[in-house]
A and B are shown apart, each in its own frame.
Chain A
Amino acid sequence: MRAFLSILQKEFIHIGRDRVSLFLVLAMPVALILLFGFTISTEIRNARISILDQSKDTESNHLIENIIASGYFQIVSFLDNEAEIDHDFKNKQIKIAMIIPPRFEESLEQEHIANIQIINDVSDINIASILNNYLRTVFNDYINEYNQINNGFETPISIVTTMLYNSELNSVYMFVPGIITLIMIIITALMSSITLAREKETNTMNMMLITTVKKINIAIGKVIPYMLLSLLSTIFILIISVFVFQMPIKGSIGLLLFLCIIFMFTSASFGLLISAVSKNQLDAMMVTMMGLFLPTVLLSGFLFPLDNMPLFFQWLADIFPAKWFIIAIKDVMLKGANFMEIGKYLLILTGMSVVMVWFSLSQIDKR
């Protein structure tokens, strides 16, 4: 035990003396979350919109007033023809445009049909879909209000959206789970495997292996400090999301932390696996980038919705732990899921850890 503690102490010294890395590790999550959070929330609050009102009647005016009142949109210009829409997208940096067709009021009163057309800039699919949802909400509210005042009829709403978009509701909240995942992986898996690989390179590994200390203790001693560091970062991220971005945590905080700790173990096992198969730091970097980082960014549902991917990629996503963690953490934070409801994901993550640890140990023990 004393031997193990001294290894642990040594790892903490390594981390503590490498000020640059330590600073990066602690500052990176904060920077990421502020970056994602603020860029997205400001764009949403003041999204630039142009409106082509082909009716110019009382009701279309009401609708436009509602859009202004919502606070999400900043009207850039009122257009005269459809050709100007393209011009505004290119030259006035509008994010969204709306067309109110002719006879808007008439069809609303006589046919009980409300039509509008939304044109999105989908170069940023996330923002486009958020704005689309906002505009829909404003439009729905307006129609409901109209119905209450005027006739009590159910008015069928028809919104034509010209681009396909991400149907999932995206907001700053969605980035928090993704960032927590990335941070956990970078710190726990990448950092620990890189430092382990560095020891192989500098030969200190052999120096350690020749002593009486058990291999498993060397590995565990290596991983523990990084696990603690990643947990600290996760807590930072959660604090910022709650207090700066007013993100709700609907589920229990205890369960959330428990989930994070489970994922921390999964990442650590991944780190161990990477160390077991890589000979040097470069190897470790490459394996982590290709085998862990890219799949996490691309195949976890964090940036790109999985539902739209070809079946093969959906199947591929299943074997990486990030997807399951993101589903579970979203469920806890946004839907208030309880232990039983995320039990399946906890089991998957734990199972993955067990398999990876088992495999790594069998590799490390080869002499």
Chain B
Amino acid sequence: MYSIIVENLTKKFGHFTAVNNISFSIKKGEIFGFLGANGAGKTTAMKMMCGLLLPTSGTAKIGGYDLATQSKAIKKNIGYMSQRFSLYDDLTVYENMQLFGTIYKIERNTLKQRIQDSLQELSMNDFANELVRSLPLGWKQRLAFATALLHRPQIVFLDEPTSGVDPIVRREFWELIYKTAATGVTIFVTTHYMDEAEYCERISIMSEGELKLIGTPNELKAKMEVQSIDDLFVKFVNR
């Protein structure tokens, strides 16, 4: 059962090919690491899969829905959290969650319950009425993640979710990711931290718009004869 199937996806901006003919499939509940140097085309690929950008050519099925014709159904079934923190700073924790929950048309009482549960899980009950601005970055990231899950999406796209936070917070964040994946949610995550790549079930490496490698971290290390994903990445990007 695949929740993401990408076939020959391509995006050109004028003469520049940002994403060149990439294909891959991701199983339901899988944690998939999407690696690549800056400018390799990761964000562009992700934006296409989320429906923020139209592909120049190629197709994809996201959560079983066709990218070209069922974008509304896709939007209902995906969550997104970006590398730059993307909740509203001048709204409170509760207001942010309520805003996004309402936008997804979650029924009033259900939403209330879900917000309560999320805050409970994040141990942020006491901070519900604090402005998001006043929270430490690590908390904001976890809050953004919880908000992206409010409408119970099948797939969550995480665009460098842990950039800029300390190692302990990163570990906590990954615990959240694992918990979420265990409930059957597919996690599609980009990262620059190679230790995080080791946490993923499968990873892929993008370079110059092309998908160069795909497989489990151990497979890839064995195949490329390197000790760590770090070495793998450096070896690959330098070539």
**A interface residues (Cβ-Cβ under 8 A, vs B):** 2-3, 6-7, 9-10, 13-14, 17-18, 202-204, 206-213, 367
Contact = CB atoms under 8 A, between A and B. Distances in A.
Given A10-B95, A212-B75, A204 B103 contact: no
B226 interface: no
A211 B101 CA distance: 10
A99 B105 CA distance: 79
Contact of B84 (A18, A202, A212): A202
Interface in B13-70: 50-54
B146 to A, nearest CB: 14
A181 B75 CA distance: 41
B86 A211 contact: no
Given A13-B91, A13-B95, A211 B52 contact: no
Given A3-B105, A6-B98, A212-B76, A367 B90 contact: no
Contacts of B82: 203, 206-207
B89 interface: yes
Contacts of B87: 204, 207
29 contacts: A2-B105, A3-B102, A3-B104, A6-B99, A6-B102, A7-B103, A9-B99, A10-B91, A10-B95, A10-B99, A13-B91, A17-B131, A18-B90, A202-B86, A203-B82, A203-B84, A203-B85, A204-B87, A206-B52, A206-B82, A207-B82, A209-B52, A210-B75, A210-B78, A210-B80, A211-B75, A212-B72, A212-B103, A367-B54
Contact of B103 (A6, A14, A18, A206): A6
Contacts of A18: 90
Nearest to A205: B86
Contacts of A212: 72, 75-76, 103-105
A14 B96 CA distance: 12
A209 B100 CA distance: 11
A367 B68 CA distance: 12
Interface in B104-126: 104-105
B108 to A, nearest CB: 8
A209 B71 CA distance: 12
A211 B103 contact: yes
Nearest to A204: B86
Contacts of A206: 52, 80, 82, 86
Given A10-B91, A18-B90, A210 B105 contact: no
Contacts of B95: 10, 13
A208 B89 CA distance: 14
Q: Is the interface of A mostly helix, strand, loop or mixed?
A: helix
Q: List 8 A-B pairs, minimum CB-CB distance, nearest first.
A: A6-B102, A207-B86, A203-B86, A210-B80, A203-B84, A367-B54, A3-B103, A212-B75
Contacts of A207: 80, 82, 86-87, 100
Contacts of A204: 86-88
Nearest to A213: B103
B52 A10 contact: no
Contacts of A209: 52
B212 to A, nearest CB: 27
Contacts of B76: 212
Nearest to B133: A17
A10 B102 CA distance: 11
Given A6-B102, A7-B99, A204-B86, 10 more contacts: A10-B91, A10-B99, A14-B90, A14-B91, A203-B82, A203-B86, A206-B80, A207-B100, A212-B105, A367-B54
B88 A14 contact: yes
B162 to A, nearest CB: 16
Q: Which of B54, B95, B103, B104 has most A Cβ within 10 Å?
A: B103
A245 to B, nearest CB: 38
Q: Which of B76, B91, B98 has most A Cβ within 10 Å?
A: B91
B78 A13 contact: no
Given A203-B84, A203-B86, A210 B102 contact: no
A173 to B, nearest CB: 40
Contacts of A3: 102-105
A213 B75 CA distance: 9
Nearest to A212: B75
Contacts of A367: 51-54
